[in-house]
């Protein structure tokens, strides 16, 4: 078995976001070099988390001495909203708030209210969602909904309390996350989605118990392949359980039927529980698999990621971002900010997952420099 190596280096690297010589107008029709539109913006509001999951923020690296970003480096809510407005002008229709753990950001409801007031290029409200580990959700769900949040996705890697405590590595009980999920449903933050990162040999025995628990509850359970994001999680291919195997295990107990994608660029492959006639039994619900390692979905990826200090990343596996904060705090106009964003997206050619299996080792993004998932969100 390969030795687990965790490099102790800072992964945050940014290029200056240049103003193009020829302005890029915000028409809502922006496309990158592969013709992919910009539709989804993921905004990290903090680089801190109260969990220490080994696949994201291992305790060996993110300890009490880890140099988190100082408060002055973080974008204010007003700065985030101003940048989000320019992304929306280029065609963004959905905003997902991430972290770290986004509910650790003080007064996040204020930001949600500001973002909920934005409108797409055709005048419709944005789809505002948030991903959380669920630890603070029970106490915040109603306030989040009142502020304008529409849906939540909760990370939950197993129902067995001992397994869950080991994986979050801070001895947090699974019961409190389940309380948060129930509170989100009651507050109207639905349909709630639950994401389970599956690591072979660690929690893959929890696949069927998770399916049994959430089937018929209105909660959409999604299984995510353990990804090679960042440089600190000690990722190994032999710990990846392919989504095809997840589906095979589920089919040993349940009949499943494939479902159409719910939106262009959707990362999850959807499967519905089938009735006796082989049709989707809507009341039983659905599951999803996100095959980020074994089945790349770069071809229609329409997501940009904005870090908590204002760097825009064009891929979850990127090694460098583009610094929008310098323009923002340097007095750039809205038109200039929109033009810089447009210029960055027009030059985008990222398709790391498609190339993962074909790149020579020295031509791939340097593993020691790849951005951490805890910094730009999943």
Per-residue pLDDT reduced to its tens digit, 80-94: 999 999 999 999 999
* pTM of the predicted model as reported, rounded to 2 decimal places: 0.89
- 8 within domain boundaries: no
Three-point CA angle 262, 308, 318, nearest 5°: 65
CA distance 178 to 134: 8
pLDDT of residue 7: 41
Tokens standing for residue 300: 């229609």
CATH number at residue 196: 3.20.20.70
Measured distance CA(148)–CA(142) in Å, rounded: 10
Domain assignment of residue 3, yes or no: no
Nearest CA to 45 among 65, 69, 9? 69
In a domain, 103, yes or no: yes
Would residue 173 count as lying in a domain?
A: yes
Instruction: For residue 1, tell me if it sits in a domain.
Output: no
- Asked if residue 84 is part of any domain, the answer here is yes
SS3 string of 292-311? CCCCCCHHHCCEEEECCCCE
Residue 228's pLDDT is what?
Answer: 64
Q: What is the pLDDT of residues 147-172, one digit of tens each?
A: 999 999 999 999 999 999 999 999 99
- Supply the pLDDT for residue 361: 42
Whole-number pLDDT of residue 234: 59
Is residue 324 in some structural domain? yes
**How buried is residue 236: exposed, middle or buried, by Cβ count under 10 Å (0-12/13-18/19+)?**
middle
Beta bridge partners, 287, equal 221, 271
d(CA 66, CA 57): 11
Q: How many domains does the chain have?
A: 1
Task: Indicate whether 7 belongs to any domain.
Answer: no
Q: What is the pLDDT of residue 319?
A: 78
Boundaries of domain holding 249? 14-376
The low-confidence residues of the chain, meaning pLDDT below 50, are 1-10, 360-368
């Amino acid at each position: 078995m390969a030795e687990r190596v965790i490099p102790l280096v800072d992964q945050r690297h940014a290029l200056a976001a240049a103003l193009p010589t020829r302005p890029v107008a915000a028409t809502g029709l922006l496309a990158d070099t592969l013709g992919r539109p910009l539709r989804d913006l993921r905004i990290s509001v903090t680089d801190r988390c109260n969990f220490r999951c080994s696949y994201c923020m291992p305790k060996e690296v993110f300890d009490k001495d880890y140099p988190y970003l100082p408060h002055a480096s973080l974008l204010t809510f007003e700065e985030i909203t101003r940048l989000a407005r320019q992304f929306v002008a280029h065609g963004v229709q959905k905003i997902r708030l991430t972290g770290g753990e986004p509910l650790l950001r003080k007064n996040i409801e204020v930001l949600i209210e500001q973002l909920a007031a934005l409108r797409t290029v055709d005048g419709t409200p944005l789809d505002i969602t948030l991903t959380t580990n669920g630890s603070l959700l029970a106490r915040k769900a109603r306030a989040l909904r009142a502020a304008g949040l529409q849906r939540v996705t909760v990370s939950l890697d197993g129902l067995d309390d001992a397994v869950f405590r080991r994986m979050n590595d801070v001895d947090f009980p699974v019961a409190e996350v389940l309380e948060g999920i129930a509170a989100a449903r009651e507050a109207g933050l639905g349909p709630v989605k639950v994401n389970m990162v599956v690591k072979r040999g660690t929690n893959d025995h929890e696949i069927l118990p998770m399916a049994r628990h959430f089937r018929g509850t209105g909660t959409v359970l999604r299984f995510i392949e353990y990804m090679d994001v960042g440089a600190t999680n000690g990722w190994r291919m032999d710990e990846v359980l392919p989504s095809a195997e997840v589906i095979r295990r589920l089919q040993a107990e349940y009949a499943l039927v494939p479902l159409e994608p719910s939106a262009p660029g959707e990362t999850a492959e959807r499967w519905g529980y089938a009735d006796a006639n082989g049709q989707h039994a809507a009341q039983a619900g659905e599951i999803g698999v996100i095959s980020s390692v074994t089945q790349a979905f770069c071809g229609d990826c329409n997501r940009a990621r904005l870090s908590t200090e204002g760097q825009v990343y064009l891929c979850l596996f990127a090694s460098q971002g583009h610094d929008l904060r310098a323009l923002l705090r340097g007095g750039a106009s809205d038109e200039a900010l929109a033009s810089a964003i447009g210029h960055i997206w027009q030059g985008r050619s990222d398709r790391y997952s498609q190339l993962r299996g074909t790149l020579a080792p020295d031509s791939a993004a340097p593993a020691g420099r790849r951005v951490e998932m805890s910094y730009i969100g999943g």
